[in-house]
Chains A and B, each alone.
Chain A
Amino acid sequence: MTYFISGGAKNGKSTLAQDLTVALSKGGKHYYVATMISTGAEDDDRIRRHIADRDGMGFETVECFRNIMECLKSADKNGVFLVDSVTALIQNSLFPIEKNYEMDLEAASRCADELVAFAHTVRHAVFVSDCIYSDAERYSESTEMYCKCLASIDRRLAKVCDTVIEVSAGQFIIHKGDLCI
């Protein structure tokens, strides 16, 4: 089973994703794909909070900042993968920190292709993304490109995943498939 979860910030996406992953694993292998590159104390704090949230849930952590297929070098594809988040993977690829955040469209495109390939390859996956498309700001060209790249992979994942859920205030809007837990 593959799930795609999106919605606004701080609405309960990660909690749902963790619960789904544990339920799908039925006591077997389940992986947390850590996607965030820390850029300072604020990120370190957030990462610590996320680790504490997962404490006792039996996750194995796999670090992957860009190309998700690389996870499978160390992880078993028959396990359950929680990818939180698609947003971070696209951001890391499109604006590489080691190239001083200079936009790299090719890397973002490869990152997106690998996400789709990953969804087809692994037995179970839960992808978390962010719905950032409904405000009245007129952004810079690079920010617009970021939104466009993320929306494009969101749509591709929503198409291939069995279930698509939008989370709003901790409630679930099921756009496709079933929750199954």
Chain B
Amino acid sequence: MILIIGGAYQGKLDFAKEVFGITDVDVHICDTGEIDFSKRCIYKIEEFTYNHPDPIGYFQAHREAWQDSILILQDIFCGVVPMGAENRAWRQRTGRLSQYLSREATQVSRIFCGLEQRLK
């Protein structure tokens, strides 16, 4: 599994398209529903975690399904602690998930202004 992280609008999906040759039909764009792991690229995982109480548990339960996937997660971790409890909890469970996925990944790429920084 390849994990791509980075701030908003940094070009994470464009990087995945360019480097791994994926197109829009290969991409599942997350919302609050189930993730379609049959797609090669799972995008906006932070949208999935917004309402899911246990995203690590969810990913562990589907572990076999994403071993060869490209997972894209937005870095939402560097700002001021959010005022709202909901956003604080969202940031926490998303951050923990990013650490879990990063451990599982064979490659971790951080995208900064469209440029890749290889973290793993």
Contacts and interface: CB of A to CB of B under 8 A. Distances in A.
Interface string A153-168: 0110111000010100
A152 interface: yes
Contact of B113 (A6, A132, A136): A6
B114 A159 contact: yes
Interface residues of B, number: 24
Interface string B62-101: 0000000000001111111010000110110010000000
A138 interface: yes
Given A147-B9, A151-B9, A175-B112, A134 B117 contact: no
Nearest to B46: A136
B7 interface: yes
Contacts of A166: 112
B113 A164 contact: yes
A4 interface: yes
Q: Which among B9, B82, B115, B117 has the greatest number of chain A C-beta atoms within 10 A?
A: B9
A138 B91 CA distance: 12
A5 to B, nearest CB: 10
A99 B94 CA distance: 39
B55 interface: no
A134 B76 contact: yes
Contacts of B79: 134-137
B76 to A, nearest CB: 4
Contact of A136 (B91, B114, B115): B91
A101 interface: no
A131 B110 CA distance: 14
A155 B114 contact: yes
A139 to B, nearest CB: 10
Nearest to A149: B9
A133 B91 contact: no
Contacts of B113: 4, 6, 151, 154-155, 157-158, 164, 175
Contacts of B75: 133-134
Interface of A: 4, 6, 8, 131-138, 147-148, 151-152, 154-155, 157-159, 164, 166, 173, 175-176
10 contacts: A135-B77, A135-B79, A136-B82, A136-B88, A137-B79, A154-B113, A154-B114, A158-B115, A159-B114, A173-B117
